[in-house]
Amino acid sequence: MRSVKGKEWYQADEVAQEYDSKRFSKGGRLIDRREKEAVLAALGPVEDKNILEIACGTGRFTVMLAQEGANVVGLDISRAMMVQGREKARSAGVADRIEFLRGDAARLPFPDNHFDAVFAMRFFHLADTPAKFLAEMARVSKEQVFFDTFNDKSFRVTYNWLLPMGSRLYSNDGVNRLLADAGLALADAKHDFVIPFGFYRKIPNGIAQPFRSLDLAVGGTPLGDDFASVSYWNARVTTDTDESSRAATRASDAE
Ligand SMILES: C[S@@+](CC[C@H](N)C(=O)[O-])C[C@H]1O[C@@H](n2cnc3c(N)ncnc32)[C@H](O)[C@@H]1O
């Protein structure tokens, strides 16, 4: 079995230092914007909420949520990524609303039902044991779990094998099974980016918007959801999670 792909990769200082500029400059700016909108739309209003961000990385969302008045814990396995996050929080003047914590998403150091909401962005494509991660997120959340996935029916499939780490790609059915096993009920799912991220990252910001408009137009057709490369999953914690479903989760991860 492959190990968790991003666990080692993001430890390197140069990877962490270049993380934002490689992905979210040029046409990638609109990806950053869209992802932030997705997080705020799902979690908001966040003022005075206690929120845990799993795999917070360079703190793109951590800082945004603190600016909106939330108390945020950002957990990540990479010290180097969180160095960037701490710097961002200081420059934005919200360091006092954020705790950056080094830790493994597979074993969260919090009691059950500790946060109002728990979310992870750009994390599940790195995970070889997603059921374990999702079960932990559900365990420590009182109300809500939110995350994104990269999809297996999208154009991303055509270049996924070229990427240094590849990505785990998900089907809708696969995510629905993961949610059920973690004791989560799907409240809302949004599917976006028929044109995959890699394309936007390569083109100048000035010409990205017309492609995005085309992307949204195709995404709005009946076939749009089927070809979307990204999905945003907004789920509620249910009370009927029993030990047997958690045991099933552990068993499926062990396979
Ligand atoms: C693609 S980056 C995403 C960062 C941030 N969520 C964002 O969207 O900008 C993936 C992050 O997952 C973190 N990561 C990977 N495996 C992890 C684990 N087992 N526990 C906690 N963080 C992990 C990496 O260190 C990295 O910061």
Which DSSP string do the residues of the chain spell out, in sequence order?
----HHHHHTTSHHHHHHHHHHHHSTTHHHHHHHHHHHHHHHH-S-TT-EEEEET-TT-HHHHHHHHTT-EEEEEES-HHHHHHHHHHHHHHT-GGGEEEEE--TTS-SS-TT-EEEEEESS-GGG-S-HHHHHHHHHHHEEEEEEEEEEETTSTHHHHHTTSSS---EE-HHHHHHHHHHTTEEEEEEEEE-SS-HHHHHHS-HHHHHHHHHHHHHHHTSTTHHHH-SEEEEEEEE-S---HHHHHHHHHHHH-
- Across the range 70-99, mean pLDDT stands at 98
Ligand 1 in reach of 179 Cβ (< 6 A): no
Domain-embedded: residue 220? yes
Domain-embedded: residue 216? yes
Residue 78's closest CA among 21, 32, 19? 19
Domain-embedded: residue 172? yes
Pocket test for ligand 1, best of 13, 17, 29, 76 (most atoms within 8 A of CB): 76
pLDDT, residue 239, reads 75
pLDDT at 141 over 90: yes
- Across the range 195-210, mean pLDDT stands at 90
pLDDT, residue 122, reads 96
Atom of ligand 1 nearest to the CA of 57: 27
Ligand 1 in reach of 169 Cβ (< 6 A): no
| C-alpha of residue 214 to centroid of ligand 1, in Å | 30
pLDDT, residue 216, reads 94
Residues linked to residue 231 through DSSP beta bridges, in sequence order: 149, 191
| C-alpha of residue 108 to centroid of ligand 1, in Å | 14
Domain-embedded: residue 135? yes
Q: How far apart are CA 45 and CA 116, in angstroms?
A: 12
Domain-embedded: residue 253? no
Q: Which domain holds residue 20?
A: 7-247
- Across the range 244-248, mean pLDDT stands at 50
pLDDT, residue 1, reads 35
Q: What is the pLDDT of residues 220-236, one digit of tens each?
A: 998 888 889 999 999 99
| C-alpha of residue 103 to centroid of ligand 1, in Å | 10
* Chain centre to alpha carbon of residue 52: 12
Residues linked to residue 201 through DSSP beta bridges, in sequence order: none
| C-alpha of residue 210 to centroid of ligand 1, in Å | 31
pLDDT at 250 over 70: no
Ligand 1 in reach of 219 Cβ (< 6 A): no
| C-alpha of residue 53 to centroid of ligand 1, in Å | 10
Ligand 1 in reach of 126 Cβ (< 6 A): yes
Instruction: Please give the tally of structural domains in the chain.
Output: 1
Domain-embedded: residue 228? yes
Domain-embedded: residue 100? yes
Pocket test for ligand 1, best of 84, 123, 133 (most atoms within 8 A of CB): 123
Average pLDDT, the chain: 90
pLDDT, residue 158, reads 65
Atom of ligand 1 nearest to the CA of 133: 19
State the CATH number of the domain containing residue 99. 3.40.50.150
pLDDT, residue 20, reads 95
pLDDT, residue 165, reads 65
pTM of the predicted structure, to 2 decimals: 0.90
pLDDT at 204 over 70: yes
Ligand 1 in reach of 104 Cβ (< 6 A): yes
pLDDT at 163 over 70: no
Domain-embedded: residue 252? no
Q: What is the pLDDT of residues 9-47, one digit of tens each?
A: 899 999 999 999 999 998 999 999 999 999 999 999 999
| C-alpha of residue 80 to centroid of ligand 1, in Å | 11
pLDDT at 153 over 80: no
pLDDT at 192 over 50: yes
Q: How far apart are CA 188 and CA 167, in angstroms?
A: 23
Ligand 1 in reach of 57 Cβ (< 6 A): yes
pLDDT, residue 34, reads 96
